[in-house]
Amino acid sequence: MIPNHPQFDKSKKTLEGANVQMLLRKFGSPLFVFSERILKEKFRLFRSVLNDLYPCSRIAYVLSANYVPGIVRILKNEGAWVVANSEFEYWLAKKIGFEESHTVFNGLWPGLFPQAETPIFLNDFSELECLNKLAQKNGSIAKIGLTVQISHANGRIWNCHGFNLESGEVKTALHLVKGKLTYLKACGFRFNLGTNLDDPEYYLYALERLIKLIKELGHDFADNLEYLSVGGGFAVPGSRWLYKSIWPVLTIENYVGPIAQELLKSFPRPPLLIFEPGRYLVDEAGVLLSMVLYAKRIPGAHIVKEGELFLNIERDTSPEDNKAQIVYVDAGVYSVLPAANIRSFNVDVISNQYSENSEKLQTYVIGNSLRGNDFLSRDNVLPELKKEDILVFYNAGAYTLSRSAQFVHPRPAVVIVGEDGSVASLRNKESFEHISSLDIF
């Protein structure tokens, strides 16, 4: 599957029609740049496939993937619901304007008592008891769903939260709801299988086992099943796990099709199917621009892995081995691109100093934290780079900003290029004052 990256014109030095050097002069480097076009295209494609294969469905965007309000609002306007995994994300969803009925609540937090039809998915027995007391105090019945912890076919469990299926916790919880916890009504299930899942069999294996449990509970429960929320990120083209040379990425039809068929086959009245994409919707839409501080060639340089990553320099090398370069940039793994510790990013170059025929070198891109193991890229082959060249890191839209840290440096600005080529600021660049604004001197 070909990545849907922002359109990059090397000769004009533009991203989605916006001049890159102008962006950096105005907003500073490093800089996150998003494409409004791609955000909309990704959502509309997903929605179109669901309309064809399983119309009784909703797309609920996972806020933790990227919670810059301007980006989330675009998805909201396209029709997305939202998944709130914390009290902060619930607050943010409300501030952005999501209706409570369009919010999937994952967990119970202080003061939370949803009044809407959308259930709250609970993760443990203490949450069940707590919500039952709140509902009793409120004099109403609270609709709930259970987060189900399901192992993969190899026996591994990715999600540490939820009621375990194998041990019988799910049945125990449902019996409690039906008997003792009379102010709760169980009406759905949710599961989360992991991230970057490149095989629909992960979902089918979990779904078949969950459907088997539902049927064991009897027609009364199966006929009244209202919701099924599917979590676990689809693999995204353009960025792969570190050291994984093959990265098979399926189309959205390959994921949705088998799930839809299984549900339509199993239920006379299929439940509302809620997909919870995060990375799939925003990852390709974002890039990180970072400026080269300096670069140098080092003969015989290569990466070795001994518990941690190290840059190994072979001492006795010939001039022919001088095919590697180390490039230092103004961004870092510890601050703005934490996913570089586990993912391999494709990198492009904007430069006035080379041609397409320039010699290509094995390139190790090192961040500005002055700490070891700060590798933003370790497997790209790039032309020889000079100070003030610009690197473009693709697939920087998901789990970068939401996991960024004020480590050593303030965090960068975020902008978006509109479908008409206009540029809008979504987040200002931080200052030193922002980093210490809550500290007491």
User: What confidence tens digit (pLDDT) does each residue in 257-279 have?
Assistant: 999 999 999 998 889 999 999 99
Q: Is pLDDT at 238 greater than 80 in this prediction?
A: yes
Q: Can you state the angle between helices 201-216 and 252-266, rounded to 10 degrees?
A: 20
Assign 62 a pLDDT band (cuts: 50, 70, 90): very high
Task: State what percent of residues in the chain have pLDDT above 70.
Answer: 89
Assign 306 a pLDDT band (cuts: 50, 70, 90): very low
Res 316: pLDDT = 47
**What is the pLDDT of the chain when averaged over all its residues?**
88
Task: State what percent of residues in the chain have pLDDT above 90.
Answer: 62
CA distances from 229 to 53, 60, 187, 372 (A): 16, 9, 11, 41
Res 342: pLDDT = 84
Interval 39-51: pLDDT, tens: 999 999 999 999 9
Interval 115-133: pLDDT, tens: 656 678 999 999 999 999 9
Res 200: pLDDT = 85
Helix H, strand E, coil C: the string for the chain is: CCCCCCCEECCCCEECCEEHHHHHHHHCCCEEEEEHHHHHHHHHHHHHHHHHHCCCEEEEEEHHHCCCHHHHHHHHHHCCEEEECCHHHHHHHHHHCCCHHHEEEECCCCCCCCCCCCCEEECCHHHHHHHHHHHHHHCCCEEEEEEEECCCCCCCCCCCCCEECCCCHHHHHHHHHHCCCCCEEEEEEEEECCCCECCCHHHHHHHHHHHHHHHHCCHHHHHCCCEEEEECCECCCCEEECCCCCCCCCCHHHHHHHHHHHHHHHCCCCCEEEECCCHHHHCCCEEEEEEEEEEEECCCEEEEEECEEEEEECCCCCHHHCCEEEEEECCCCCCCCHHHHCEEECEEEECCCCCCCCCEEEEEEECCCCCCCCEEEEEEEEECCCCCCEEEECCCCCCCCCCCCCCCCCCCEEEEECCCCCEEEEECCCCHHHHCCCCCC
Assign 427 a pLDDT band (cuts: 50, 70, 90): very high
Q: What is the mean pLDDT of residues 63-71?
A: 96
Q: Is pLDDT at 216 greater than 70 in this prediction?
A: yes
Assign 319 a pLDDT band (cuts: 50, 70, 90): low
Q: Is pLDDT at 330 greater than 80 in this prediction?
A: yes
Assign 307 a pLDDT band (cuts: 50, 70, 90): very low
- Cα angle 262, 264, 267 (rounded to 5 degrees) comes to 100
Q: What is the mean pLDDT of residues 83-87?
A: 92
Q: What is the mean pLDDT of residues 231-246?
A: 78
Res 317: pLDDT = 54
Of the candidates 286, 195, 191, 201, the one whose C-alpha atom is nearest the C-alpha of residue 234 is: 195
- Cα dihedral across residues 402, 405, 410, 412: positive or negative: negative
Residue with the bigger pLDDT between 317 and 391: it is 391
Res 161: pLDDT = 85
Assign 339 a pLDDT band (cuts: 50, 70, 90): confident
Strongest mean pLDDT among 211-220, 235-244, 256-265: 256-265
Of the candidates 21, 11, 142, 17, the one whose C-alpha atom is nearest the C-alpha of residue 389 is: 21
Of the candidates 194, 201, 173, 172, the one whose C-alpha atom is nearest the C-alpha of residue 185 is: 173
Interval 367-421: pLDDT, tens: 999 887 899 998 789 999 999 999 999 999 999 999 999 899 999 999 999 999 9
Do the Cβ atoms of 263 and 215 come closer than 8 Å? no
- Cα dihedral across residues 238, 240, 242, 245: positive or negative: negative
Interval 161-188: pLDDT, tens: 899 998 999 999 999 999 999 999 999 9
Of the candidates 101, 336, 403, the one whose C-alpha atom is nearest the C-alpha of residue 227 is: 101
CA distances from 195 to 101, 199, 241 (A): 26, 11, 11
Global pTM reads: 0.92
Q: Is pLDDT at 324 greater than 90 in this prediction?
A: no
Of the candidates 250, 149, 267, 129, the one whose C-alpha atom is nearest the C-alpha of residue 199 is: 250
Res 271: pLDDT = 94
CA 41 to CA 243: how far, in whole Å? 30
Q: Is pLDDT at 206 greater than 50 in this prediction?
A: yes
Residue count (the chain)? 441
Q: Domain segments of the chain: what residues?
A: 8-33+285-435, 54-280
Superfamily of domain 8-33+285-435: Lyase, Ornithine Decarboxylase; Chain A, domain 1 (2.40.37.10)
CA 402 to CA 411: how far, in whole Å? 11
Assign 362 a pLDDT band (cuts: 50, 70, 90): confident
Here the tokens at position 191 are 């599961």
CA 20 to CA 345: how far, in whole Å? 19
Assign 320 a pLDDT band (cuts: 50, 70, 90): low
Task: Give the CATH fold of the 54-280 domain.
Answer: TIM Barrel (3.20.20)
Q: Is pLDDT at 87 greater than 70 in this prediction?
A: yes
